[in-house]
Structure 1
Amino acid sequence: MSDLKIYNTLSRKKETFEPLNAPFVGMYVCGPTVYGDAHLGHARPAITFDTVYRYLSHLGYKVRYVRNITDVGHLQGDADEGEDKIAKKAKLEQLEPMEVAQMYTDSYHRDMLALNTIKPSIEPRATGHIPEQIALVEGILKEGLAYEVDGSVYFDVMKYNESYQYGKLSGRVLEELVSGSRDLDGQSEKRNAVDFALWKKASSEHLMKWESPWGLGFPGWHLECTAMSSKYLGKQFDIHGGGMDLMFPHHECEIAQGNACNHQDPAKYWMHNNMITINGQKMGKSLGNFITLQELFTGKHDLLEQAYSPMTIRYFILTAHYRSTLDFSNDALKAAQKGYKKIINALRIAKTLKYSNPDQVEKDADQIKQVEQSIANAYRALDEDFNTAQAIGHLFNLLKKINSMYTGQLSPGVFGEEVFEKTNQTFIRFVEEILGLLEEKTDNQEGLLSLLIKLYSEAKLARDYNRIDEIRASLKDLGIIVKDMKDKIDWAYEE
């Protein structure tokens, strides 16, 4: 369908995308653990894989996009000991764990909607798939690659490594992992420190627990993704995505579980978005730079000089390649705000610009070649491992042509009607359909702006310069500038 290449973390190189069962594509992405409000770290994978989903769909693939909700089993410190993150929050808030999970699932959905991410095809929850997880544990035990200790079941990494390679995704060497780890005070019930929990025995005070063949307990964090991906996408599927922080141990353990019970790697292509930093530092509550999406949208955080709209955040994330690090700062976000407004001003023009050639201007081969090259380059950028940063650069070349036709510097006739339409439609399609950028309008914006522009026109005819300045200032307060043109008066978002 295209020359799409994906950087596969497993092979550490770009590979031509060849789905297992084209035109169908199965994509599984690790979703949030719902015990707090969504933050910048949630926004990047959500927007990254939303764009992957959009572009694959644009290319004609039939994509089943599965993104899970973790509502049990994710313990403090991402380890096999300690308290469940959701249960801990429930105790602090004096709520039921499922109240906490529902509250933060709802807030996550609210923020993802604001960022204009498309809902996944399926969004399964870990607590809704306990029987499937128990069945997986039974299967791995039957293969001899797990063992039970007093109601808990652990994956036997050393035994697994006799037939498979544990660490092949992350590049970790098992011998180094073993030598670099030690059991605290020798109390661990694991045979080896690198083994990980498939099922944990629940203590009497543990809030979330289920009956199992090994007694009351709860599933390990890694198990849910294997259970749900294989249920909805099959034993092997095309793309597994997530943040780079999940590569080890989470995704490594998923590969081990998949091979143990299904005798094959779960995914053909592994994609990982890189991390974000805040003013050059890793984001963390202890550093005081932990910023939720709602804080970004409202500007209510000590590190923020102003509010930044959801589309500004989406645009900013897309201006970096998903595998590169991305640093959030006020200066960078303000620059993104300007870039986003330039794109949206051009989008408004592209939607209303009509072909005309009253002076019978002849086609210009150079102008046509430039436009055709920009369009081809924008597609080529996305085909090279979804390089949205480069694609946006080529869209700005189209933007300049669209603006030049709007101001009269270029006649649409130099492109001919076919290329003129192709230019506008490609720009609209990339901005809205593929990159998922929308014009952010306030309630009744169109009516209010129409009225103010009408009053401005009347004041201009009457040469009421005080009134003209007053209306201009009122519009500027709304982030709008008036554009006095030769044959009309228009407006644009202030960049």
Structure 2
Amino acid sequence: MKQSLFVYNTLTRQKEEFKPLNAPHVGMYVCGPTVYSDAHMGNARTYISFDLIFRYLSHLGYKVRYVRNITDAGHLESDADEGEDKISKKAKLAKLEPMEIVQKYTVGFHEVMQVLNILPPSIEPTATGHIIEQIELVKSIIAEGYAYEVDGSIYFDVEKYNQKHNYGVLSGRNLDDLLNNTRTLGGQEDKRGKLDFALWIKAKPEHLMKWTSPWSIGFPGWHLECSAMSRKYLGDQFDIHGGGMDLIPTHHTNEIAQNEACCHTNPARYWVHTNMLTVNGQKMSKSLGNSFLPHELFSGNNKILNKAYSPMTVRFFMLQAHYRSTLDFSNEAMEASEKGFKRLMNAFNLLDGLKAGNKTEVEIEPIRNRCYEALNDDFNSPVLIAELFEATRIINSVHDGKMVIDEKNIAELKALMNDFVIDILGLKNEQAANDELPRVVDFIVNLRSEAKANRDYATSDKIRDGLQKVGIQLKDSKEGTTWTKI
């Protein structure tokens, strides 16, 4: 059953049939994290959404080059090109090298991605690793007449650009509206226009992260890195550019301007944006006291949480809402998702034990077709999950002897659940993993007992401390050693 994939394009504000530039190859660029703090749950939602897109396009047979950057320089405290670089500021406070901060939070980010079963991108470039490319991009923009220098800093001339291009094409706002709604801030006296933004910033003597350029010793503006790296790895124009919707008015708008100025084309054909995560109907924020980090959600160690939730419960919760819809977190919603996820995986675990009959009372192929229809409608994961619960109902009915299906349809049922639950939604069978845990831990505890018997106390302590770090606590007594999960 041949079906077309339709994707909502922020640029045109409508669903469009997905037609890659160079099928079966697909280029996809997603704005990655700024690694100066722990990954927050809003980030996690964005990367789970694009993981679904990456997985589904790959399932359809596309050869996807997925590029997700790491911002490790140039992201200032203010979008008005003011304040310190966030990583440099963190490094000064901690009395560390900036790249120590980068390493710490990059490792933490990758750990969260792995726990949530988010596949790594094809390429993960860093801003600091592409300074040369960013400098060359600035040279091109200057040569085209859309940038100017003031005392070693380079600024993009938005009003001049808007004379031939539509600066607000992505946000849907015209330049006059943008100018009227932009307040004049201190430190902008070097700029010709209120909307102008920095391409290269001359560093102050105390600035930690700086490089030599034709204009000054300084560092790149935040928006520049994505233009430079997407162009290097995906070309002047590629298929999908994405990120959170908060990037639309400034970061992605400025990316388009940079690329149009130097390459004479919008960098992406399809702009895809995820919506925000709220908490009990309110925006998630530290000032409101309603924010939490992924590891707090997994441990339950936060005052707004009633309990801990497993990583796959969290992933399932996020996939139950369409990526363009606001997703509201509450303990009640999480508990409902936990029940739904367990129901789905309990049925999955029954598949191998299903007995075939000599007839069939239901065909599985129509369910598979509807699963494809859901994902082909702008990656509609909630509708897909509803279809998978129909498959779950059938599995339970066959297992309970209330329904009969033949061997062919049992094979199709197994393929359906493997394709859509495991490969595309990226849900892991936590129950199967937990079933193996006692055997693994008992084996390790026995190794520790042997080490103690051999008076190898260093190894014994190392095993105990290592298990403690992964959530297994040992208790020694006269009767032996017992363990519990913490």
1:408 and 2:405 correspond: no
1:33-83 residue CA offsets vs partner (Å, 9 max, x unmatched): 001111111111110000000000000000000000000011113331111
1:415-455 residue CA offsets vs partner (Å, 9 max, x unmatched): x3222211221112110000000012587724859xxxxxx
Partners of 2:122 and 2:163 in 1: how far apart?
38
After TM superposition, the structure 1 = structure 2 runs for residues 86-97 of structure 1, keeping only pairs within 5 Å, are 86-97=87-98
After TM superposition, the structure 1 = structure 2 runs for residues 97-108 of structure 1, keeping only pairs within 5 Å, are 97-108=98-109
Other structure's SS at 1:37 match: coil
Shift of 1:171: 1.1
TM-score by length of 1: 0.86
Shift of 1:336: 0.6
**Match for residue 209 of structure 1?**
210
Shift of 1:286: 1.0
TM-score by length of 2: 0.88
Amino acid at match of 2:102: A
Q: Is the 8 A contact 1:5 1:385 kept in 2?
A: yes
**Match for residue 174 of structure 1?**
175
**Match for residue 272 of structure 1?**
273
Partners of 1:2 and 1:308 in 2: how far apart?
37
Shift of 1:304: 0.5
Shift of 1:174: 0.6
Partners of 1:129 and 1:147 in 2: how far apart?
22
Shift of 1:354: 4.6
Shift of 1:130: 0.1
Partners of 2:391 and 2:423 in 1: how far apart?
16
RMSD: 1.5
**Match for residue 492 of structure 1?**
none
**Unpaired runs of 5+ in structure 2?**
440-486
Partners of 1:216 and 1:363 in 2: how far apart?
74
After TM superposition, the structure 1 = structure 2 runs for residues 391-402 of structure 1, keeping only pairs within 5 Å, are 391-402=384-395
**Match for residue 317 of structure 2?**
316
Shift of 1:185: 5.8
After TM superposition, the structure 1 = structure 2 runs for residues 39-438 of structure 1, keeping only pairs within 5 Å, are 39-184=40-185, 188-350=189-351, 352-357=352-357, 360=358, 362-364=359-361, 367-368=362-363, 371-412=364-405, 416-438=406-428
Q: Is the 8 A contact 2:354 2:398 kept in 1?
A: no
Other structure's SS at 1:101 match: helix
**Unpaired runs of 5+ in structure 1?**
450-495
Amino acid at match of 1:117: I
Partners of 2:80 and 2:379 in 1: how far apart?
33
Describe the shift of the 1:347–1:419 C-alpha distance in structure 2 as closer, same or farther (beyond 3 A). same
Give the number of equivalent residue pairs. 438
Q: Is the 8 A contact 2:360 2:409 kept in 1?
A: no
Q: Is the 8 A contact 1:114 1:310 kept in 2?
A: yes
1:123-167 residue CA offsets vs partner (Å, 9 max, x unmatched): 000000000000000000000000000010000001111111101
Q: Is the 8 A contact 1:2 1:59 kept in 2?
A: no
Amino acid at match of 1:439: N
Shift of 1:335: 0.6
Partners of 1:268 and 1:444 in 2: how far apart?
44
Q: Is the 8 A contact 2:36 2:101 kept in 1?
A: yes
Other structure's SS at 2:257 match: helix
1:381-401 residue CA offsets vs partner (Å, 9 max, x unmatched): 000000000000011001110
Q: Is the 8 A contact 1:239 1:267 kept in 2?
A: yes
Describe the shift of the 1:332–1:135 C-alpha distance in structure 2 as closer, same or farther (beyond 3 A). same
Shift of 1:279: 1.1
